[in-house]
Amino acid sequence: MDANEMRSLVIDRLLDTPYAKKVDAEHIVVRCPICGDSKKHHDGAHCNIWFRDDQPLIYHCWICEESGLVDREFLNDKGIHDSEVIASASQYNRQYGRKGRSSKISYNGEIQNIEIPKILPKDDRKVEYIRKRLGIDFTYESLEAMRVITSIKDFLLLNKLPPNPSYTRVLDTLESDYIGFLSISKGYIIFRSINPKNKFRYINYRVFPEILTAEKFYTMPSRADILAEDVTLHITEGIFDIISVFFNIGEAQVDNHIYAAVCGSGYLRVLEYFLRKGMIGNLTVNIYSDLDKKPHFYNNINDMQKWYKGMKLFYNTVPGEKDFGVSADKIKPKQIVVKNTRYRR
């Protein structure tokens, strides 16, 4: 029996339990065997189980907040004692979880058949802009690894994609005056202007017009083990901020550190994305805020701390600087304690 067959056997048996239902292709919910689930609704199911390729079977209950592997104990608590099902769950989790091999998730883009074009000397004006702004001597190769796109036309040609008709009028401007960053879903290119005369500082280019659900936030290349005790999620508003945090504050740590720029998606949406990936209870959130966002702006993130370890909020206190998208000599982080004032009168 291969891994897919073992996983299907376990999931199908769980779906046979009372009030279990399938949410999507990688997610089911069952009645929680630990807390007994909803007392108000006897048919409610709040214990989420995710079953993604090459990852262990993980559960999390939204009521009692218990998380863990779908193992013998969990299955027995669900009234499942079939030896073949239990053996399949154990073997599957050993293969994809306990060894820490396939439980590691790479945050360098989800659609794997999209390629980044080589950066060429003709693009040096854009490369120099990034180098000068962040004070880092990036090589072409390092920028390519970060999914930086210096030529939209080269990108479309390499991937044999037609231009999105909605952006036909600005294609030449994107080619000459903007630097692109491919989003985590690879469904968007977030373009940042390098010419102050341009009307728009950012343009979000939809790579696949027919895909309406693609995530548009950006992540630096990193790896996180969903079974690790500690994973740190670093979040900023802008892309230059998160690149600077990665190199100038985070010292380019990639193991169990995730670096995400919101890019207009919303901080809560980014956090929920990683919680849905199974990082529940082991996530610490570090927010590096723009100066114009006051601490109470992050109340909605603070409200969700029952699902992650805690939140730290930082501001850049160097006079004249409004964010972290600058060189290391212009950064002096200060942590601010977030006090939730949502319900104060």
pLDDT digits (tens, 9 = 90+) for 8-58: 999 999 999 999 999 888 889 999 888 887 776 777 788 888 887 777 888
pLDDT at 100: 32
Q: Which residues fall within 8 angstroms of residue 285, CB to CB, at 6 or more apart?
A: 232, 233, 235, 271, 301, 308, 310, 311, 312
CA distance 22 to 85: 19
pLDDT for the residue numbered 103: 39
| Contacts with 209 (C-beta within 8 Å, 6 or more apart), sequence order | 164, 165, 166
Q: Phi/psi of residue 188, each to 5°?
A: -130, 150
Q: How far apart are CA 252 and CA 246, in angstroms?
A: 5
Token couple for 2: 């291969």
- Name which of 212, 208, 210, 157 is nearest 182 in CA terms: 208
Q: Which CATH class is domain 3-102?
A: alpha beta
**Chain CA centroid to CA 280, Å:** 13
User: Which of the two residues, 62 and 157, has the higher pLDDT score?
Assistant: 157
Confidence of residue 209 (pLDDT cuts 50, 70, 90): confident
Helix (H, G, I), strand (E, B) or coil at 307: helix
3-class secondary-structure state, position 180: strand
Rounded to two decimals, the pTM is: 0.69
Distance CA 51, CA 277 (A): 10
Report CA-CA distances (Å) from 294 to 297, 300, 314, 337, 340.
6, 13, 11, 11, 12
Instruction: Tokens 């009521």: give the residue.
Output: 63
d(CA 33, CA 319): 54
CATH number corresponding to 223-336: 3.40.1360
Instruction: Give per-residue pLDDT as tens, 76-117.
Output: 999 999 999 999 998 888 777 543 323 344 555 545 578 999
Determine contact, residues 267/282, Cβ cutoff 8 Å: no
Q: Quickly list DSSP for 115-172.
A: -PPPP-GGGHHHHHHHHHHHT----HHHHHHTTEES-HHHHHHHTT-PPPGGGGGGHH
d(CA 179, CA 71): 47
What does DSSP assign to residue 306?
G
Which of 126, 324, 327 has its CA nearest to residue 239? 324
255 DSSP assignment: B
Domain with CATH 3.40.1360 in the chain: 223-336
Tokens of 194: 């390098």
Of the candidates 321, 231, 304, 230, the one whose C-alpha atom is nearest the C-alpha of residue 269 is: 304
Instruction: Walk across the sheet containing 202-206 and list its strands.
Output: 148-149, 178-182, 188-193, 202-206
List where CATH 3.90.580 sits in the chain. Answer: 3-102
* 3-state class (DSSP) for residue 251: coil
The phi and psi torsions of 30 (rounded to 5 degrees) equal -135, 165
Q: What is the DSSP string of 314-334?
A: EEE-STT--SS-S-GGG--EE
- pLDDT the model gives residue 280: 67
| pLDDT tens for each residue of 279-308 | 767 889 999 999 999 988 888 887 777 778
Q: What is the mean pLDDT of residues 152-167?
A: 93
74 SS3 class:
helix
Strand partners, 50: 27, 58
